[in-house]
């Protein structure tokens, strides 16, 4: 696998007069967990949708798992696991029916699906609810079903858009434990969040504000460089500095 799981250069997206993402550049080494932080409307989802091959950039370029996000968008979609902000599950299907559906989209055979569903139920802590309708599950359970669905084809890169928004603290904790197991197995993860405390679980973080990236690096280094005790302090200082944004 490539040394860099994600590489973007001057990624830019305009929607009419709205500059949603502006000159964003960063690289994420394979096997690391990268947290993209920023308030609502800062451009996180737009950045992610360009990385997933779902949205064509206005300008700039990028490679994901070595694939070009513009000319090889279809291969990018097939190779990565993506969990969208709204979880995109079928509420009127059971947990297993959802996993089987997403697995069949990725071309798994019936035999592979049976094995994979049982394996995912155990790994993603879904046991006991395999045949329950997803619409009747709590937010924390839905979140784990969505993670299992994104991981059904065993992608080497997971892109998760605000997976913990609106989920209770216990479920958030369980979810981060699951992510740490995946990281230990060498999966690369990009996760967006507006919870600053979650950034401290990441090897690398970036702050977005108004479509621009204001800081990028390991959380400890960013705190040490600014001489501040928390990432929240660093980000408040960077976002209010009004100077030259990072990259
Ligand atoms: N399809 C779209 N059409 C027009 N404006 C959009 C579209 N998608 C996002 N935007 C705008 O781009 C900006 C960034 O949005 P988004 O990437 O969703 O931010 P975040 O995920 O950080 O909340 C916002 O101002 C949003 O309203
Ligand atoms: Mg968003």
CATH of the domain at 178: 3.40.50.300
Do residues 52 and 46 lie in contact, with contact meaning Cβ atoms separated by under 8 Å? no
pTM of the complete model? 0.93
What gap in Å lies between CA 31 and CA 180, rounded to an integer?
A: 11
Residue that terminates a domain, selected from 138, 154, 170: 154
Supply the pLDDT for residue 247: 47
Read off the pLDDT of each residue in 161-178 and give the average, rounded to a whole number. Answer: 92
Beta strand pairing status for 33-37 and 188-193?
parallel
Domain annotation covers residue 24 = no
HSE-up of 229 (CA within 13 Å, CB side)? Answer: 0
247: which residues sit within 8 A by CB, 6+ positions away?
Answer: 23, 24, 25, 26, 213, 216
Let me know whether 107 and 49 are in one domain.
no
CA–centroid distance, residue 39 to ligand 2 (Å): 9
Let me know whether 129 and 92 are in one domain.
yes
HSE-up of 150 (CA within 13 Å, CB side)? Answer: 30
Closest-CA residue, ligand 1 atom 7, reads 15
Do residues 25 and 214 lie in contact, with contact meaning Cβ atoms separated by under 8 Å? no
Let me know whether 42 and 141 are in one domain.
no
Closest-CA residue, ligand 1 atom 4, reads 15
| Bridge partners (DSSP) listed for residue 189 | 33, 158
The sign of the dihedral angle between the CA atoms of 136, 140, 143, 144 is negative
For residue 92, what are the domain limits? 87-154
Read off the pLDDT of each residue in 162-172 and give the average, rounded to a whole number. Answer: 91
Closest-CA residue, ligand 1 atom 8, reads 46
Domain annotation covers residue 203 = yes
Q: Which among 189, 213, 214 has a CA at the least distance from the CA of 5?
A: 189
Do residues 182 and 31 lie in contact, with contact meaning Cβ atoms separated by under 8 Å? no
Domain annotation covers residue 18 = no
Residue that terminates a domain, selected from 154, 178, 210: 154
Closest-CA residue, ligand 1 atom 18, reads 45
Q: Which among 197, 198, 230, 13 has a CA at the least distance from the CA of 238?
A: 230
Closest-CA residue, ligand 1 atom 6, reads 15
Let me know whether 102 and 129 are in one domain.
yes
Domain annotation covers residue 17 = no
Supply the pLDDT for residue 13: 98
Ligand 1 atom with the shortest distance to the CA of 49: 17
Supply the pLDDT for residue 235: 79
HSE-up of 129 (CA within 13 Å, CB side)? Answer: 19
Residues in the ligand 1 pocket, defined by CB under 6 Å: 15, 18, 20, 38, 40-46
Ligand 1 atom with the shortest distance to the CA of 21: 14
Cα 241 to its chain centre, rounded Å, is 28
CA–centroid distance, residue 122 to ligand 1 (Å): 36
Supply the pLDDT for residue 12: 98
- Least confident span in 45-49, 90-94, 168-172: 168-172
Ligand 1 atom with the shortest distance to the CA of 162: 21
Let me know whether 116 and 206 are in one domain.
no
Let me know whether 45 and 129 are in one domain.
no
CA–centroid distance, residue 8 to ligand 2 (Å): 19
Domain annotation covers residue 15 = no
Confidence check: pLDDT of 99 > 70: yes
Domain annotation covers residue 97 = yes
Cα 96 to its chain centre, rounded Å, is 23
Let me know whether 179 and 228 are in one domain.
yes
CA–centroid distance, residue 13 to ligand 1 (Å): 10
Let me know whether 130 and 43 are in one domain.
no
Let me know whether 239 and 150 are in one domain.
no
The number of residues making up the chain comes to 247
| Bridge partners (DSSP) listed for residue 36 | 192, 206
């Amino acid at each position: 696998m490539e040394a860099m799981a994600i590489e973007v250069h001057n990624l830019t997206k305009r929607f009419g007069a709205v500059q949603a993402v502006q000159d964003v550049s960063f690289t994420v080494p394979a096997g690391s967990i990268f947290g993209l932080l920023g308030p609502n409307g800062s451009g996180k989802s737009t950045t992610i949708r360009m990385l997933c091959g779902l949205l064509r950039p206005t300008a700039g370029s990028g490679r994901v798992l070595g694939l070009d996000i513009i000319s090889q968008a279809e291969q990018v979609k097939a190779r990565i696991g993506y969990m969208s902000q709204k979880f995109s599950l079928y509420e009127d299907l059971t947990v297993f029916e959802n996993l089987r559906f997403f697995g069949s989209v990725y071309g798994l055979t019936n035999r592979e699906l049976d094995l994979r569903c049982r394996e995912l139920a155990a790994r993603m802590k879904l046991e006991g609810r395999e045949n329950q309708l997803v619409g009747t599950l709590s937010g924390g359970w839905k979140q784990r079903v969505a993670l299992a669905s994104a991981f059904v084809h065993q992608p080497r890169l997971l892109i998760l858009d605000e997976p913990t928004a609106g989920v209770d603290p216990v479920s958030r904790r369980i979810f981060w434990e699951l992510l740490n197991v995946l990281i230990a197995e060498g999966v690369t993860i990009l996760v967006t969040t507006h919870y600053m405390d979650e950034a401290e679980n990441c090897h690398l973080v970036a702050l977005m504000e108004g479509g621009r990236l204001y800081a990028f690096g390991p959380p400890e280094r960013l705190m040490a460089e600014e001489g501040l005790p928390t990432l929240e302090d660093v980000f408040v200082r960077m976002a209010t500095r009004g100077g030259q944004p990072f990259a």
